Amino acid sequence: MTSRERVWTALEHRQPDRPPIDFGGTRQSGISVFAYARLRRHLGLPEEPPPRVFDVYQMLAEIEPAVAERFGADVVGLNRRAVAFGIVNADWKPWTFEDGTRALVPGGFNPDREPDGTWVLRRDGEVIAAMPAGGWYFDRLEKLPGALHPDLDEWVPPRLGPQELEHLAAEARRLRDTTDKAVIAPLGPPYELFYGLGTGDFAAWMITFASEPDYVRRLYDKLVTAWLEDLEAFHGAVGDRIDILQFNDDFGTQRAPFLSVRAFRELVMPAYKRGLDWIHQNTPWKVFLHSDGALGPLIPSIIEMGVDILNPVQTTAAGMDPRRLKKEFGDRLVFWGGSCDCQGTLTRGTPEQVAAEARAHLDVLQPGGGHVFASVHNIQANVPPENIVALFDTALHYGQPR
């Protein structure tokens, strides 16, 4: 099978020739540049040119085609010109991090160093992100609408502009014409309707969410109306040259959902359903939700909302046992991830332990299709290269004689 055929077979709940693999297709299935630099050395790749950091928020590396092919990657991402903090991925320049890792970063990445060693990014004089000395990624500090509580009669949400649409159209055409990969594009509402609206002051947003439902509905209506207009323009630009549309919102902690099923169904679900209904009625795209944590009580509503694919399938969170998920929802939901505990085994285990855990989850999630193999969220800076190799080689050779 080609990569696109392999992914679509799984999306249609049929058995592909081997597990489809996502390595770097999204900003939630990528790899820290610090881990990637070590992986490149482990693979014997030349030091020059150094890897690019395409997401300066999470410090994610751009995975080169040769590395993607080595690990059987079947998915590629259609990214915006600026994926983090409005910094356009252009005019690449060399950068050396504190641990000696060398990389290329966008020309617009110009953090300031504070006296205590913290790196900060500013916009209009305000600090919008900070990475502490010895840190591996930035914390986002800018306040978004949920925390700012704007006057909805005056406030206008951001929109896709002509330059961005032109970029997305050209990139979608290039990816379709030059690869056989399934193409995934992130295009949710202007902000994540639940978790993202609280960035910079999540407590303030939670108070608003819990105490002002009418205001929340009006805010959601304004954001989803903008999203629908963006979706129509985006579809006009890329057409059927993408396969999957991704949106993100973190509904779960590791022990339970952030919000009750009732609150989800009364406030969040109707808003998202407006957008997802439009997608299903007007495009062939599958809908991919990235949401971390313990989502079990919300999954029936998430399916009803119009989600086809759930990521990252955090199997160590409460109620997220893969056997239960496959049995109860495997005929209606594609599981994207669920490979290995990213907070334990992948970081601190041996390659043999990584392979054993990944294989056990493949045994549960692969039968009958409906599963795409990926790391459970981004591979962090301290993951050994041997464990990364073991993770993806387990999927790449799954089902073959050992």
Query: How do residues 249-276 score in pLDDT, each as one tens digit?
Result: 999 999 999 999 999 999 999 999 999 9
Greatest CA separation for the chain: 64
The pLDDT, as a whole number, for residue 400 is: 81
Q: What is the mean pLDDT of residues 208-214?
A: 97
CB atoms within 10 A of CB 185: 23
CATH 3.40.50.700 assigned to 3-29+71-80+143-396:
no
User: What pLDDT is stored for residue 399 in this prediction?
Assistant: 83
**Averaged pLDDT score across all residues of the chain:** 97
Q: How many Å is the Cα radius of gyration of the chain?
A: 20
Nearest to 21 by CA among 346, 358, 326, 316: 358
DSSP H stretches of helix in 194-283: 202-211, 213-238, 261-263, 269-282
pLDDT of residue 108: 97
What's residue 325's pLDDT? Answer: 98
Q: Mean of the pLDDT values across residues 182-204?
A: 96
List the beta bridge partners of residue 39. none
- Nearest Cα neighbor of 52 from 65, 70, 71, 69 is 65
**Span 111-128, mean pLDDT?**
96
Q: What does the pLDDT average to over 324-352? A: 97
| pLDDT score, position 402 | 63
The CA distance from 366 to 400, in Å, is 14
Instruction: Name every residue whose Cβ is closer than 8 Å to that of residue 151 and which is 6 or more positions away in sequence.
Output: none
Tokens linked to 16 = 């592909």
Stretch 8-28: mean pLDDT, rounded? 98
pLDDT of residue 67: 97
Q: Tell me: pLDDT of 11 over 90.
A: yes
Residue 185 pLDDT class (50, 70, 90 cuts): very high
Q: Which residues of 145-176 are buried (b: 16+ CB within 10 A; e: fewer)?
A: bbbebeeeeeeebeebeeebbebbbebbeebb
pLDDT, average across residues 42-58: 97
Q: Give me the mean pLDDT over the 167-195 stretch.
A: 97
Other beta carbons less than 10 A from residue 92's beta carbon: 18
Buried b (16+ CB within 10 A) or exposed e, 210-242: eeeeeebeebbebbbebbbebbebbbebbeebb
pLDDT score at 22? 98
DSSP-based three-state secondary structure for 168: helix
**In the chain, what are the domain boundaries?**
3-29+71-80+143-396
